[in-house]
Chain A
Amino acid sequence: MSTIEEKVRARASTGPAWVAAGAVLTLLVLAWKLGPGGAELPAISGPYMPGAYDGAWLSQMVVWLVRRLPVPLPAETMLALFSALALGALLAWLYQRLVFNDWPAIEALAFVIALGANTIVIGTITVDHTAIPVMLACAAIVPGIRRLESVGDVQAEMSFGLVLAFLLLAGPAPALMIPVLALFGALSDRTARSDPRAFVAMFLVAIMPTLLVLTGLLGLLGIDRAIPLFKAVYIDPFRPHLLYIEGVRAFLRVFACTVLPAALLIAAYWLQLDRRRQPWSALAVLILPIYVVAGAYLFSWPVAETVPTAVFLGAFAAWLSVARLTPVFRRSATVLILLCTLASWLVSGLAPPIPWQKLSLYDRHGPATIHR
């Protein structure tokens, strides 16, 4: 090995496999230990576009797929396996990115284990399927903004536009951010700030994938079906609907225990005097969960109280996967995420025999319990 880059690549090449295998095994053992309730198939919701109303379309797609796989295993087992594999793959990818960003392998491993052990991460992946698209979409925004800030090439603009389209699919809460982010995307270009033609062009490039997806859905469903669906999914949740105070408390409790510790790190990064820092992507990590909390307080968004934390964890991990940090920041990130994870277990006072989907920090019928 002659260069540092080669060493990093060599470490990164074998590590993810171990992390993935570890995560998958852990989840499978947990699923086995927790009994038959550990992997439950979500019910198919809605007459068409299953999952569109509650945001669980991603898991509905998986269910649709696993039911058709010619494998002699129950669909529940297949779904558990799929969830475990998906989380394993995501963690492995994160590990690889961290090592690529100069994290020592041991620190990267510690971080990934801490994140993977967070009850909200486990719960979101295995049970609260409605949160998965929101979490993934918000996580995808951060690298999208980061690339616009640091690279700013056409690929960055395209990927940003495609992420915005994903936000549309992730539900009403992320969809509302699309126009704002499209404006941000357009203004991220220096020429667009002074030349209206450039601004229009940049805005079009950012917003067009979303419009394409909308047109595609219209074509796929037909106008007769699409209009009521769009209304139900994207308009109705914006009816003003203030949460009861207990609902607010539930949100804030989760938020305070899990987000705030790590938020300190982001704040420190934002305030540091380093010309290479990319402030907007870091800021997005903080703003996204706050936005979800505020939206859930004001409107009748179909989100559980764990969703802001899931959004934060996803965005935080995504940020770490693209940001290059000093050793102090890296270690702080690991310690803080460990604290988050501890909080996620301790606050609920849970004991190991309780199935994970019954953890008090989240509720798979979350929206129903909050919007009583």
Chain B
Amino acid sequence: MALLRPIPAPHPDGVEAPGGPRRDSEAGGGPLRQLTAGEILVSRGQLAAVDLVASVADRIMWGSTLGEVLIGKGLVRPFDYYRALAEAYGCAFVNLHADPPDAELLDPADRAGYVELELIPWRREGGRVMIAAVEVGEPQREWAEKRYGAEGYGFVVTAPFDIFWFLQDRFRETDSLAAREALYVWKPEHSAKLTVTPVQRTGFLVAGAAYLIFLVLAPATCLVATMAAITLLYTFTFLFKFLLTWVGSSRKVDMDIRPEEVAALTDAELPTYTVLVPMYREAKVLPLLFAALRGLDYPASKLEVKLVLEEDDAETIEAAKALRPPGTFEILRVPPSEPRTKPKACNYALFFSRGEFVTIYDAEDQPEPDQLKKAVLAFRRGGERLACVQARLNYFNRSENWLTRMFTLEYSQWFDFLLPGLDRLKMPIPLGGTSNHFRLPVLRQVRAWDPFNVTEDADLGIRLAQEGYRIGVINSTTYEEANGVLPSWIKQRSRWIKGYMQTWLVHMRHPVELWRTIGPRGVFCFHFFIGAPPLLALVNPIVWAMTIGFYLLRDTSLDWLFPEPVGTLATFNLFFANLLLVYFGIVAALKRRYLDLVPAGILQPFYWILHSIAAYKALWQLVVKPHFWEKTEHGTSKVTEARLTATEAGST
């Protein structure tokens, strides 16, 4: 057997002798080599013997390699471990920083394989290609043999970060370009790169002109028809929200993944999970993030955390390094390019992701510990077409001020009632900004997030539905920091509303196709959940002004705009629908047992005024700066400050 080669002694010049290491099966398998590496580390004083013994036990329980366990638990530095592993394999260890690979050997077509198998063609030595790999197992050998023939390769060992560092450097421009343009190249009609297509622009102009002509020729009829349409829009939006709240408030939606199911999971059966944390200038909250991620109930060896930072954000990069993250945490530097958006950064990070599933957390997120396990169970139960599960979001600083209270009520209603309602009614779900968990292959297949859409998550939910995938909601919560500073809130909210406008415009380019792919129910949901809210936020001030004129100033000069039955319907919307929406907010607070928010819920209509202010800003930005990402500032909360102090005190 040509593949079965004797393990040679280390080559004097640091490169393994011809033939490469023998197969694990012959030598007793990789585990034995890893154990040898552990013993070497103990002999060097880099690892306590008792830790090695415990890690061997964990290796069996977790179903990981010994190296992954040792590094995941932070017991050894990756560099030390892989150097010892090289020694165990009897081959050389190379530091790719000091001895970079020969760029000529890299094949862009093999880009995914390099990441998947954690290897890279290093140099050509003695007529053979030496491959720098993290592990020398069957998959690596098969990969090498396919490319270089049975005798055409050999292995050296390196650290995984070296491989990723080199790949980042080598494919910097192409990865950055792909992160920006992959979706646009694949399906330009699904990208928000163009806010409106020429056809849409023409359509809007024609519709606008027709409306103006109607207004000039028959002003009264035109305005009555307009008010009737707006009234109906309000009514349908309310009825839809009522339905969703009703369905979503059932206890059944809370019982999706039961605690006993989570407890029955064994670590060995869990897959590798990638956690992306895109950040920009958020050095301050890093200790909290690290504490939250360490608190996840998931084997450390199977957690692949990627801190996705902008290349020019030296402050956060240095702060992350200073916190000495475990070996499973990796800092990815995103090359600067426009648009500078979170989805572009996440797309870039996907090139380096190896998990079966991937999720996103914001820097200040505090996910419930069992969230990843619940997501795994949901995926197993949901079948192959379940592409994504969304965890619920809520706030840890809800009682800080009026704005945080309102924000919490809104989020509680959104994530506890409306999204579960959509889930149960089998409608497309616009994803929330974080804590959405994906099957990585599916995410790649749909070209991940649209970097030009500023609510890329909501857009992705619709695109996944269009591609025939489903999205579910799991009963696990991630606690975030509610934006309690008004200017910052307006910025954040205007971005969200702008994103919803973008999403609606993008998917209305081909309405027939949309109908065909997501069906009538999905189209209804799309219009009344994504399209209508921004429009109504814009219309609200006009309607409020008319209401004030009628009820407070007793001005009846506009009564003719509401002939019956429009008048009755409008009154229904004003009193019953609006007040019931307030009621739903209060009920949402009750579901979370946020008893202090129940009386505060009555003030929600004042919060809606802020929505309208943000909506007008969003509309303005949609026209002048459609891709501009209004950064949300985190770490401004007193609760965050207190947690930071507590975390830092705990770590010292």
Contact = CB atoms under 8 A, between A and B. Distances in A.
B595 A219 contact: no
A339 B245 CA distance: 43
Contacts of B250: 153, 155
Contacts of A208: 583, 586
B350 to A, nearest CB: 38
Given A153-B250, A201-B595, A216 B587 contact: no
Interface residues of B, number: 26
Interface in A118-161: 151-155, 157-158, 161
Contacts of A202: 590
A189 to B, nearest CB: 9
A205 B587 contact: yes
A215 B249 contact: no
A197 B590 CA distance: 11
B607 interface: no
Nearest to A189: B590
A218 B598 CA distance: 24
A157 B584 CA distance: 11
Contacts of B9: none
Contact of B575 (A161, A195, A198, A219): A219
B571 interface: yes
B596 interface: yes
Contacts of A55: none
Contacts of B249: 153-155, 158
Interface string B587-599: 1011101011011
Of B551, B571, B587, chain A has the most CB atoms within 10 Å of the CB of: B587
- For chain B, what secondary structure do more than half of its interface residues adopt (helix, strand, loop), or is it mixed? helix
Interface in A174-218: 191, 195, 197-198, 200-202, 204-205, 208-209, 212-213, 215-216, 218
Contacts of A154: 249, 251, 587, 590-591
- For chain A, what secondary structure do more than half of its interface residues adopt (helix, strand, loop), or is it mixed? helix
Contact of A201 (B245, B580, B598): B598
A212 B579 CA distance: 6
Contact of B579 (A195, A197, A216): A216
Contacts of B595: 195, 197-198, 200-201
Interface string B72-105: 0000000000000000000000000000000000
B546 interface: no
A204 B579 CA distance: 13
Interface in B214-259: 245-246, 249-251, 254
B608 interface: no
A62 interface: no
A347 interface: no
A64 B572 CA distance: 18
A205 B590 contact: yes
A219 B574 contact: yes
Interface in B578-631: 579-580, 583, 586-587, 589-591, 593, 595-596, 598-599
A242 interface: no
Contacts of A191: 593
Contacts of B591: 154
B148 interface: no
Nearest to A211: B579
A235 interface: no
Contacts of B599: 200, 204
B579 A220 contact: no
B586 A204 contact: yes
Contact of B590 (A157, A195, A218): A157
A200 B598 contact: yes
B590 A220 contact: no
Give 10 closest A-B pairs by Cβ, nearest first. Answer: A153-B251, A216-B575, A201-B598, A155-B249, A219-B575, A212-B579, A154-B249, A154-B591, A197-B595, A216-B576
Given A161-B583, A212-B575, A219-B575, 20 more contacts: A151-B251, A152-B251, A153-B250, A154-B249, A154-B587, A154-B591, A155-B249, A155-B250, A157-B587, A191-B593, A198-B593, A201-B590, A204-B598, A205-B586, A205-B587, A212-B576, A212-B579, A216-B579, A220-B568, A220-B572
17 contacts: A153-B249, A155-B246, A155-B249, A155-B250, A158-B245, A200-B599, A201-B590, A201-B598, A204-B586, A204-B598, A205-B583, A205-B586, A212-B583, A213-B576, A219-B574, A220-B568, A220-B571
Interface of A: 151-155, 157-158, 161, 191, 195, 197-198, 200-202, 204-205, 208-209, 212-213, 215-216, 218-220
